[in-house]
Amino acid sequence: MLASIKVVNEKCIGCGICWSVCPKAVLAGELRGVARVINGNACHACFSCQNNCPTNAIYVSPTPNWPH
């Protein structure tokens, strides 16, 4: 694992932006559902998901095993 990623379910609106911009397919979900981390080990902390999330529901840390 190169980075850590967390989705705050209470903030996620299921818009799909995060999983569509992730170059490593770290996130998945269904529209109007909640995004979820499906491949956390692939996260390279590019911050695309975090920077594009309209509700700030995603937090990425370049530190592995970042406290959740």
List the chain pLDDT tens, one digit each, 68 residues: 578 999 999 999 999 999 999 999 999 998 888 999 999 999 999 999 999 999 999 999 988 766 55
Domain boundaries, the chain: 4-61
| From the candidate CATH numbers 3.30.70.20, 2.60.120.10, 3.40.50.300, 3.30.590.20, the one assigned to the domain spanning 4-61 | 3.30.70.20
**pTM of this prediction?**
0.86
pLDDT of residue 1: 58
Cβ atoms of 29 and 19 within 8 Å: the answer is yes
pLDDT of residue 14: 94
24 exposed, middle or buried (CB, 10 Å; 0-12, 13-18, 19+)? middle
pLDDT of residue 64: 72
3-state SS assignment for residue 6? strand
pLDDT of residue 38: 95
